[in-house]
Structure 1
Amino acid sequence: MPTFHSLRCRTAELRERLTISPLLLTVLTITFMFCVDNGTFWVIAADVFSGHLISLIGYMAALFLLTLAAFSLFAFPWTVKPFLISMLILAAMTSYYIDTLGIIIDRDMIQNIMVTTVSESRHLITAGYVTHGVIFGILPSLVVICVRIRPQRAVRAAVTPILTCVLSFALAAGLLMADLKSYSSILRERKDFMSSYQPGAPLVAAIRYAKMMSRSAELDLASTGTDAQTGAAYEAPQKPMLTIVVAGETARAQNFSLNGYDVDTNPELAQLPIINFSNAQSCGTATAVSLPCMFSKFSRDTYSYENGTSTENVLDVLGHAGLHVEWWDNNTGDKGIAARFKTRKFTDLNNSEFCSTGECMDGIFIEPLKDYISSITEDTVLVLHQMGSHGPTYYQRYPEDFERFKPACRSSEFKKCTPQEITNAYDNTIAYTDHILARIIGMLSADDRLATSLIYMSDHGESLGEHGLYLHGAPYFMAPETQTHVPMILWLSDAFKTRFGIDESCVAAQENNPLSHDNLFHSLLGLLNIDTAERNADLDIFSSCKTRVELAKI
């Protein structure tokens, strides 16, 4: 039998074998992440370098060395373990989402993560995610913790990481220069390639997000449309005006039967005198970008977070003109759009009918809206920010009696559902939005004291598994049309058309024209007869459809 002394000796030998330098531990950890956490990256690489094995080897060697150059700056005895553990956990977290849902973690996705709520994000913390994190993040981190760092002299411990960084960078540069033309072409044409590299892509995204937030923190708010004045439609005594702008959530145009979808997801709206704009595009693919962009004066090409947060939006212009403006929210907030107006939150209310899951269905708007409409005495614009079709828990976005398309996926882990079940659940959310919009239009049309109108436009679309992508938030350069093609609907009461001189047939003639979030700012001003130099007539879909009220010429 082994003696206590022999066991002690064996333990000491094992600890000695597990004693390595910080640099070797860094190399081994990078190798692990390179091979284990980059499934999507390797699939894309195989496609990009198909038939060019030597180029593939050269590029991967250069990328490995560049990663080593960056990581070696933390390869000091007192920093190496915390840094590598954080990288292992980060790579495990991000690799799960890109490998299972096709979600790329770029700057905009980091921004979306930072502004999301606990109730929203908890749906993404699934059993599969936790299991993946434990196997590929926690367990290798425990190995790093157990490894003993070999003692080094102070000078060597300080100099080795710096020399490794310089040498690795130089070797990587040499490898890339050997075929720079081909590599540059690949990076220009296949931006999805490096966007899938873990943990490099999310690290770069986090740095870009931090820089963006730092720049925007120093900006002052610039006024917009302070010259705004109400036009001729406000001169004589009139019925009070109420326009409701419904900011939809995650609704894609492809699943609206109004747009030719072969599933009847819009049975109620189809019976109403609405104008359906079938060819509208979003400004972004996630709420944190699209929502402020669609209310801003900037186009998709000129919008940035800095521009959006430092410049007043169309609600401010309406306020400058003297209209009463409010924002009601059943989502993750107004993103600063309504910072200067009265807001009302409907999330997580104590309502067993609509809020039993900790989030509220959009039916929560209906009863308060009835009372609100009956109380209107002044010209008002009300924005309703929906929960809409936000995933992955589509089945929680509608009451059980609205589960018309069956079987529907009732899990936040899509791998447990068939593609048809996922689509059925999503279609149920669209049908419920159809019902909510029809209910609101019904209430507006029933109140003959007011001149009423409604504009509905979704912030972005959704992927339901096409090409391996789920949910939304893909970088715009590679986003599929399902994430950027959004529904847009207009309804006008007779009293509204009369007061504001709208030729409905003229507006309807544009229903198949290319439109986008760029049009909302200018069209809302045109619809409501607000005169300001900020309104661009070319982007105002009502500018050529006025029968009585003459808009200011710009």
Structure 2
Amino acid sequence: MQVTAAPDHGARTGWFGLRRPEFSAQLLNLLIATYLLATCNATYWGKLVEIFGDRPVAMVTLALAVWALFMLVVSLLAVGWLQKPMLAFLVVLAAVTSFYQDKLGVIIDREMIQNALTTTVNEGKHLITPNFLLHVLLRAVPGLVLVFWPRVRRRSFLRGTLAWVLTCSAAAAMVVGLLFTDLKGFSTSLRGRKDLIGSTQPLAPLGGAIRYARMLQKSAKIVTQPFGRDATKGPRLAAAGKPVLMVIVAGETGRAQNWALGGYGRDTNPELAKRDILYFSNVTSCGTATATSLPCMFSHLTREDYSYEAGLSYENLLDVLSHAGVHVEWWDNNTGDKDIANRVTSHMMTKEDDAAACAEGECIDAVFLPRLAKVAETMTEDTVIVLHQIGSHGPSYWLRYPKDQEVFKPACHSPELATCAPEEIVNAYDNTIRYTDRFLSQVIDMLAGQDRVIPAMFYVSDHGESLGEGGLYLHGAPWFMAPDFQTHVPMVIWTPPAFRNAMGLDQACIGARKDQPASHDNMFATILGLMDIKTEVRDDALDLTAGCKGQES
């Protein structure tokens, strides 16, 4: 009996016995590139129409160039046995990042990649919402079916390599050729609207990840250089008679536009308004996200000079204070110190510090108060303590204040900001500002009531926040396109009479500068000035107290 082998249907059929199509590797890449551009780039298409809507030929030409760029990138990455895993990765990546781009207006650049990789689980979990999951599923599942359902017809190594080279060359030539049809016009438009290409998914996050990896590679070789080792206590600090306690509150996501002290129409600062403070109304942040602004604030570098690598290259404000013989501690209720406190005592706040302040699972800023009170009652040396707030961190604004402090109603109680009415988002955010007002006032009152120390407080927010204006939410927009809502921040200095007398400060003189332009650039020198720290690295031009001190005895 002659035995005949059964036909191999398994290789050509899949679920439910359906026949699987067979594609070349190049065709599969083309289909996925087209799918990504078509389904995960609503923001890109909107910006393209906005910029080139009155020039349809240019719009179509640029759209084809971007499609060819997608094809080039996909072809370069999805090669050989890595093809399907890489295509699947690109589909999932684009599905995820397109949610934040399309729904929140967040551009996924290098800084945003850095923020995402340095955040905490508590912070990140609020961004995983039902709408996020639905958005990802609707885009990822069809894309993954398109990746894994077809069979790929493999050629010999030589023919496959030749086809890959020709495909990449043709895509590159198409990009260049199309752009050269109006190079001057396209270059002018793209320079003026960098957010157009910056909104393409997954090209933008891929580019950001590559730049972040290069930044980490360069920074791994950096050895922090000594800075301000000549720092000493000035004669006033040395002769103060009591321990001096300076509390620096590093604010989080507080935008100046919503501070009543700066002219906002709502009473968001009822407590600070009753206290003898100086509110600086015209302050600009160093960046639009914590990962940039926080280390920049504590660096001697200005915003123009600051970079991640440059910041790591030098000791910072906390180190200079330590060199002067001041005890320094960093307390954190946020996402960590971003390497600022590497050489000083640091502490992450938990429910062990105050169970009531952490009753909802995440600690509100009241968690600092018991520990601060204990230090003020027991300290015996000049001390600077940094309190890194959770402040107004979104999108879960309603978790940043106690339930009984919800003054402005109705407030958004969902991390899905786009599902809340604009007034609900503003109400929730304003409640966080009002609670920061209460918290800062509690710090001031606690310090003022402690007569065994000479206290002071310096507060400034790290960056601002967008609440839906122009379709933007949260923060982290690239500096070139960041609205004032993300860069205009509040700053407060409180120096009671005992501190002013000890340091020879003229309150009226400093107050005369409170409406003049200032920035995070001023913080390094101003803290040293307030504390009477003598060092060659203090730049008097950036010290807001310069020229506002009496003669030293």
Normalised TM-score (structure 2): 0.96
Measured after TM superposition, the shift of residue 264 of structure 1 is 0.5
Partner of 2:484: 481
Measured after TM superposition, the shift of residue 449 of structure 1 is 1.8
SS at structure 2 position matched to 1:280: strand
Partner of 1:169: 172
Cα gap change, 1:65/1:338 in structure 2, threshold over 3 Å: closer, same or farther? Answer: same
1:156 to 153, 159, 174: 159
State whether structure 2 residue 29 is matched by structure 1 residue 23: no
Answer yes or no: is the 8 Å Cα contact 1:229–1:530 preserved in 2. Answer: yes
Cα gap change, 1:75/1:90 in structure 2, threshold over 3 Å: closer, same or farther? Answer: closer
SS at structure 1 position matched to 2:282: strand
Partner of 1:438: 441
State whether structure 2 residue 468 is matched by structure 1 residue 465: yes
C-alpha distance after superposition, 1:134-164 (max 9, x if no partner) = 1101332133112111132232222211221
Partner of 1:116: 119
Partner of 1:184: 187
1:232 to 231, 235, 238: 235
State whether structure 2 residue 431 is matched by structure 1 residue 428: yes
SS at structure 2 position matched to 1:512: coil
Q: What is the identity, as a one-letter code, of the residue corresponding to 2:456?
A: S
Partner of 2:3: none
Measured after TM superposition, the shift of residue 72 of structure 1 is 1.2
Measured after TM superposition, the shift of residue 531 of structure 1 is 1.2
Answer yes or no: is the 8 Å Cα contact 1:74–1:161 preserved in 2. Answer: no
Answer yes or no: is the 8 Å Cα contact 2:467–2:474 preserved in 1. Answer: yes
The 10-residue stretch of structure 1 (71-80 or 286-295) with the greater mean CA deviation from structure 2: 71-80
Work out the CA distance in 1 between the residues paired with 2:320 and 2:20: 70
SS at structure 1 position matched to 2:480: coil
Alignment of 1:304-343 (within 5 A): 304-343=307-346
Work out the CA distance in 1 between the residues paired with 2:189 and 2:83: 33
2:276 to 273, 277, 291: 273
Q: What is the identity, as a one-letter code, of the residue corresponding to 2:347?
A: R
Partner of 2:528: 525
Measured after TM superposition, the shift of residue 69 of structure 1 is 1.7
Partner of 1:284: 287
Cα gap change, 1:194/1:9 in structure 2, threshold over 3 Å: closer, same or farther? Answer: closer
SS at structure 2 position matched to 1:172: helix
Partner of 1:511: 514
Measured after TM superposition, the shift of residue 17 of structure 1 is 5.5
Work out the CA distance in 2 between the residues paired with 1:426 and 1:533: 42
Work out the CA distance in 2 between the residues paired with 1:80 and 1:308: 39
Work out the CA distance in 2 between the residues paired with 1:187 and 1:348: 50
Work out the CA distance in 2 between the residues paired with 1:85 and 1:357: 38
The 10-residue stretch of structure 1 (88-97 or 225-234) with the greater mean CA deviation from structure 2: 225-234
The 10-residue stretch of structure 1 (235-244 or 25-34) with the greater mean CA deviation from structure 2: 235-244
Measured after TM superposition, the shift of residue 209 of structure 1 is 0.4
Q: What is the identity, as a one-letter code, of the residue corresponding to 1:266?
A: N
Measured after TM superposition, the shift of residue 208 of structure 1 is 0.4
Partner of 2:549: 546
Work out the CA distance in 2 between the residues paired with 1:105 and 1:237: 50
State whether structure 2 residue 365 is matched by structure 1 residue 353: no
Work out the CA distance in 2 between the residues paired with 1:379 and 1:247: 20
Measured after TM superposition, the shift of residue 234 of structure 1 is 3.1
| Percent of pairs with identical residues | 48
Give unmatched runs, 5+ long, in structure 2.
1-5
Work out the CA distance in 2 between the residues paired with 1:80 and 1:174: 27
Partner of 2:201: 198
Alignment of 1:344-423 (within 5 A): 344-347=347-350, 349=352, 351-423=354-426
Cα gap change, 1:266/1:75 in structure 2, threshold over 3 Å: closer, same or farther? Answer: closer
Alignment of 1:56-135 (within 5 A): 56-135=59-138
SS at structure 2 position matched to 1:405: coil
Answer yes or no: is the 8 Å Cα contact 2:300–2:524 preserved in 1. Answer: yes
C-alpha distance after superposition, 1:394-437 (max 9, x if no partner) = 00011110001111111111133111111111111111111110
Give unmatched runs, 5+ long, in structure 1.
none
1:449 to 447, 452, 463: 452
Measured after TM superposition, the shift of residue 171 of structure 1 is 2.2
Answer yes or no: is the 8 Å Cα contact 2:243–2:452 preserved in 1. Answer: yes
Work out the CA distance in 1 between the residues paired with 2:240 and 2:351: 41
1:264 to 264, 267, 274: 267
Work out the CA distance in 1 between the residues paired with 2:204 and 2:365: 36
SS at structure 2 position matched to 1:407: coil
Cα gap change, 1:147/1:448 in structure 2, threshold over 3 Å: closer, same or farther? Answer: same
Measured after TM superposition, the shift of residue 349 of structure 1 is 4.5
Runs of 4+ in 1 over 6 A off after TM superposition: 8-11
SS at structure 1 position matched to 2:224: coil
Partner of 1:490: 493
Work out the CA distance in 2 between the residues paired with 1:348 and 1:69: 51
Cα gap change, 1:39/1:469 in structure 2, threshold over 3 Å: closer, same or farther? Answer: same
Cα gap change, 1:111/1:444 in structure 2, threshold over 3 Å: closer, same or farther? Answer: same
Answer yes or no: is the 8 Å Cα contact 2:20–2:150 preserved in 1. Answer: no
Measured after TM superposition, the shift of residue 57 of structure 1 is 1.4
C-alpha distance after superposition, 1:73-116 (max 9, x if no partner) = 23434121111111111111111001100000000000111110
SS at structure 2 position matched to 1:78: helix
Q: What is the identity, as a one-letter code, of the residue corresponding to 1:478?
A: M
Work out the CA distance in 1 between the residues paired with 2:551 and 2:353: 47
The 10-residue stretch of structure 1 (532-541 or 154-163) with the greater mean CA deviation from structure 2: 154-163
The 10-residue stretch of structure 1 (303-312 or 148-157) with the greater mean CA deviation from structure 2: 148-157
Q: How many residues align?
A: 546
Measured after TM superposition, the shift of residue 59 of structure 1 is 1.3
Measured after TM superposition, the shift of residue 451 of structure 1 is 1.3
SS at structure 2 position matched to 1:354: helix
CA RMSD of aligned residues (A): 1.9
Measured after TM superposition, the shift of residue 549 of structure 1 is 3.4
Work out the CA distance in 2 between the residues paired with 1:490 and 1:508: 10
Normalised TM-score (structure 1): 0.96
Q: What is the identity, as a one-letter code, of the residue corresponding to 1:206?
A: A
SS at structure 1 position matched to 2:195: helix
